[in-house]
Structure 1
Amino acid sequence: MGVGIDRTGLIQAAQTGDPAAISGLLAVCQADARRYAWRHCQASDVDDAVQESLLVIARKVRALKAAAAFSSWLFTVIRRECLRLQRAMFRHEPLDDELAERQLASRSDGALRIDLTHALESLPAHYLEVVLLRDFEELTIAEIAERLGEPPGAVKSRPHRARALVREYLLGGDATIAGP
């Protein structure tokens, strides 16, 4: 991502905490972030890596020392997020579906409801919102994307990832699936 005069000014304005400049900077660098994530992430993690990386950029751009360092910083943040997602994917062995069913069936309905509530509450907000819209309001991916004002591709993998996190919580008893 080449830093031109306009982009440099946008970065400098974002460094002051200007919300419009931060928003503009994220919009300008999103395509570069996505291209870079495609090279460094599993295909299913690209949207999550880009979204999480842009959140980091938005929160920490004020700490950036020099506008000229923005591109390399952006790519470093994305690479770290891709690595974090890759490590998370391999953290647990997948459970046999039959074993999972037996574990869930051994719980009372009340206990299962409480565990499900806790699992949903532990989801990151962007996963919880999509799983509620998809599974409870029964919206399509296109309808969810329209409601959230995001491209369908950015929303498509979230219901699957959210369900996987809920399943992991229910089967593993992990109280902190949301991560850092």
Structure 2
Amino acid sequence: MNQNTEKLIQAACSGDKQALSQLLIVCQPDIKRFARRTCSTTEDVEDAVQIALWQLHRKIGTLKTIATFASWLFRIIERECYRLFRARMPTNTINEFNLESIASPNNDIDLRIDLTNLIISLPVIYRKVLIMRDIEEYTAPEVAEKLGISIEAVKSRLHRARTIIKKELNIRGNLNNNDKL
């Protein structure tokens, strides 16, 4: 963060509307770049960026220190991308979904559909850890803190979730025994 941005943040925190408008413009490219890496679809990227800018506009006055600005803003994006991802998850179960009618075997789309449905069908305690570690890329200590469990429990649940998915993909023929998940 350069000195001009720090001054904009400080002025915006103090209620300077012009500084806030300028800050929104300055931050948008970084926010968009981060959202592209974090969100699952292009539509989600646009939505998450808009939400982050709106939150920045509404809550800039609550920011305690300038040094926490970037992490605060990127956390907003991260949470929004995760919320949008959860909202897009279908509510139907894997048994209601006829995979054979959609595409031919061993196609990338089959693997994606199978993987998505397997993640959805995981028990909640495994699914949360898997999504947070493998999709959202939180560290094990961060997942442990957010879920209120031990790091060992995170590792155990993640291992169990990956094992379940790998076993099911092997059964369906989408994964060779040598392939890593």
TM-score (norm 1): 0.49
Question: Taking CA–CA contacts closer than 8 Å with sequence separation of 6 or more, which of the two structures ends up with the larger relative contact order?
Answer: 1
